[in-house]
Structure 1
Amino acid sequence: MNVLADLRAGERRLTKRMASWDSPWARRVLPAVEEAVEHTKLWCAAALALGTLGGWRGRKAAGAGLAGMAIAETISNAVVKPLSDRRRPPKEWFQDQDVQDRPDSSSFPSGHTAAAVGFTAAIAPVWPWVGAVCAVPAVAVAAQRVHSGAHYPSDVVTGVVVGLAAAGLVRAAPRLLLHLR
């Protein structure tokens, strides 16, 4: 049991360190990232741009990304989150005034991170350089979720795992459907 206690203590230290990260970049960029990904706006806009401007490959990538995002959000928010009752990090650890606007739902796992990774990882096999471009805001989302006080790092890591699993399901779906015939 000491291992679990040590892991929890380490996660609390890391969360407090992220909360105290006070750089001009973090103050400027991370709130904008949060606004852009709220209600999946950024990912839907990216899918629209890909589908409109990217030809057949863009449409395929957009469809894969939206499917990955939808599956990740469903797994995260409708399956895993209701099974967990993890409280969000204490508000006292954070200087940001926006910490007051956190949702009341369980912090485990990070649905925003799951959606970002699900979208990005589903696009990457279809159009690798677009997946690489999408990875930049996906990483920023993960950092923002801890920095803002919405999640612990393990919530974010679990969101990454959920997103990768969702993208894997999107990639495997055509093969699975062929086997069902």
Structure 2
Amino acid sequence: MIKELQDLDHRLTRRAAERIPPAAGGLLSALEASAQHSKLWCGTALLLATAQGRRGRKAAAAGMAALAVAQLLSNAVCKQLADRPRPPRHWFAHDKVNDRPDSSSFPSGHTAAAVAFTAAIAPVAPLAGALCTLPAGLVAVERVHSGAHYPSDVLAGAVIGVISAGLVHGAARAVRGRLELLMHHGRVSVSGVCGRLL
């Protein structure tokens, strides 16, 4: 079973390398460059925070927190535990394959960050979350097309992203519940503190 899954992983990687036309590959590369070091998501968070008032600030804070958790889990934990080589260079005819890091292929940190940010902002700002779904998905496709990752690396990154968003929202609910309890018992009297902070 594991061998069959590995073979499928490899076949999908080679198909992504061979079947995506050069023009689309260039578009994917440009998108990946904007997502490098989370620039795309930081810019989106800034736009949300400045253009959509309290709701936008809340969404931006959730998105950036989830992104940070996803980066920590994927790069500082999972990549250290799973030292997986990148896909073989000779599978890819383009030069993009030469511009990839030497770290573990598993999981995709780019995908983890993209999905974490998108999943975290969606419950607070649904339209922004919907709009971010497309670039997040294209970042995942680009990571396979560029030769940086296998599809399973990208899938694992997406799972980490969803988990990270869930952790952030769960922590926010726990803090909000605790503050509401304290306010109910008269220990905190600042009106609206939960809404402003969370």
**TM tier relative to shorter chain:** over 0.9
Give the drift of 1:34: 1.1
1:153 to 148, 151, 154: 151
CA deviations 1:87-124 (Å, max 9, x no partner) are: 00000001110211110000000000000000000000
Give 1:68's aligned amino acid.
A
Change (3 A) 1:24 1:96: closer
Determine the C-alpha separation between the residues in 1 that align with 2:165 and 2:47. 20
Determine the C-alpha separation between the residues in 1 that align with 2:150 and 2:68. 23
1:41 to 26, 39, 48: 39
Give 1:91's aligned amino acid.
R
Give 1:140's aligned amino acid.
L
Which residue is 2:166 aligned to?
168
| 1:66-145 paired onto structure 2 within 5 Å | 66-145=64-143
Determine the C-alpha separation between the residues in 1 that align with 2:159 and 2:28. 22
1:20 partner SS:
helix
Which residue is 1:27 aligned to?
25
Give the drift of 1:26: 1.7
CA deviations 1:58-102 (Å, max 9, x no partner) are: 111111110111110011001111001100000000111021111
Give the drift of 1:125: 0.3
**Between the two proteins, what is the percent identity of the paired residues?**
56
Determine the C-alpha separation between the residues in 1 that align with 2:178 and 2:48. 30
Give 1:26's aligned amino acid.
A
TM-score, length-normalised on structure 2?
0.87
- Residue correspondences, number: 179
RMSD: 1.4
**Greater displacement, 94-103 / 136-145:** 94-103
Give the drift of 1:22: 3.3
Question: Contact 2:25 / 2:145 at 8 angstroms: preserved in 1?
Answer: no
Rg larger in structure: 2
- Structure 2 residue 4 is the aligned partner of structure 1 residue 6: yes
Give the drift of 1:170: 1.1
Determine the C-alpha separation between the residues in 2 that align with 1:97 and 1:135. 27
Question: Contact 2:20 / 2:145 at 8 angstroms: preserved in 1?
Answer: no
Determine the C-alpha separation between the residues in 2 that align with 1:14 and 1:22. 12
Specify every segment of 5 or more residues in structure 2 that has no aligned partner in the other structure, as ranges.
183-198
Which residue is 1:18 aligned to?
16
Determine the C-alpha separation between the residues in 1 that align with 2:101 and 2:17. 17
